[in-house]
């Protein structure tokens, strides 16, 4: 490796290259149209199901048409139940996600960096990862009761493992040559982490955060089955017990909307930290 290439790998370039025609085009109207493409499939399915029910091709009793779901959403919003249950579920997911991310990041970094800690800790954590989420429920109820603590801890457990695996794998897969370049330039430990290790693990870390958030939304359903009186999971149980399929589907749709919104927020907040990537540009 030449001295010029080593310097370029450590020091950021001062001159910003001119944007290509493709990048300029991507910032045009197509940038606003591309997110709308993601709505094409669910909207098409909803319209097809609405037409099938209206023309008598399906009863719509067990799976209500979109018009009934929208009416149910309107009723829940008018009575204030939608805001109450959605905010309760969202607050639990955010709290559990925060605890799970912190623990997963710390343990993942330690086991990824230290071979001794990897041999000591990773086998136990891998065994715990194989335990189904529902199996923790009775134990957490005995330990922490049926209130918020047990629900948040259960969500944190679900978030912990994908974050832990993502961080550990990212740290272990850092190119040795990059680290040797940093040592050749006599970077301090903090500089090595800030300028080499963090950028190297950041793409995998963002993916692990998104996976952790997805599992957090799945675990919150199991958590709210633990005697919750508020939350979208409570709406699911209430709709099942009262025979309200429209309420059940409305709660599922609310889960999907909130889950997608939080995933988009992670992508949005992480974008400034990934600008250095020279990735294949998809059009």
pLDDT at residue 279 tops 70:
no
DSSP state string for 115-152: HHHHHHHHHHHHHHHTS-HHHHHHHHHHHH-SSHHHHH
* Nearest Cα to Cα of residue 97 among 25, 31, 168, 152: 152
Instruction: Assign a CATH topology to domain 65-274.
Output: MetI-like fold (1.10.3720)
Tens digits of per-residue pLDDT, 205-231? 999 999 999 999 999 988 888 777 889
Share of the chain above pLDDT 70, in %: 84
Kindly report the three-state secondary structure assignment for every residue of 248-274.
HHHHHHHHHHHHHHHHHHHHHHHHHHH
Tens digits of per-residue pLDDT, 90-104? 999 999 999 999 999
Tens digits of per-residue pLDDT, 141-192? 888 888 888 899 999 999 999 999 999 998 888 777 777 777 777 777 677 7
Torsion of Cα atoms, 223 then 226 then 230 then 234, to 10°: 90
pLDDT at residue 6 tops 60:
no
* Nearest Cα to Cα of residue 38 among 247, 267, 236, 218: 267
């Amino acid at each position: 490796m030449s001295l010029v290439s080593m310097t370029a790998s450590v020091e950021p370039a001062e001159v910003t290259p001119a944007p290509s025609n493709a990048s300029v085009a991507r910032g045009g109207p197509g940038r606003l149209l591309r997110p709308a493409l993601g709505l094409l499939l669910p909207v098409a399915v909803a319209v097809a199901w609405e037409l099938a029910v209206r023309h008598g091709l399906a009863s719509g009793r067990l799976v209500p048409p979109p018009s009934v779901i929208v009416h149910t959403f309107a009723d829940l919003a008018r009575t204030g139940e939608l805001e109450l249950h959605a905010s309760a579920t969202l607050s639990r997911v955010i709290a559990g996600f925060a605890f799970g991310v912190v623990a997963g990041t710390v343990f993942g970094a330690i086991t990824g960096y230290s071979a001794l800690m990897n041999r000591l800790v990773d086998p136990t954590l891998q065994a715990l990862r194989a335990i189904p989420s529902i199996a923790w429920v009775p134990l957490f109820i005995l330990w922490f009761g049926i209130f918020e603590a047990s629900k948040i801890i259960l969500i944190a457990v679900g978030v912990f493992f994908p974050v832990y695996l993502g961080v550990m794998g990212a740290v272990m897969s850092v190119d040795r040559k990059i680290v040797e370049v940093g040592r050749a330039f006599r970077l301090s430990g903090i500089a090595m982490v800030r300028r080499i290790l963090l950028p190297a693990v950041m793409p995998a870390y963002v993916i692990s955060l998104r996976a952790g958030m997805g599992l957090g939304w799945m675990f919150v359903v199991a958590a709210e089955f633990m005697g919750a009186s508020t939350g979208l999971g409570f709406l699911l149980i209430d709709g099942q017990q009262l025979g309200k399929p429209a309420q059940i589907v409305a709660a599922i749709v609310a889960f999907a909307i909130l889950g997608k919104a939080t995933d988009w927020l992670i992508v949005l907040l992480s974008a400034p930290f990934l600008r250095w990537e020279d990735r294949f540009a998809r059009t």
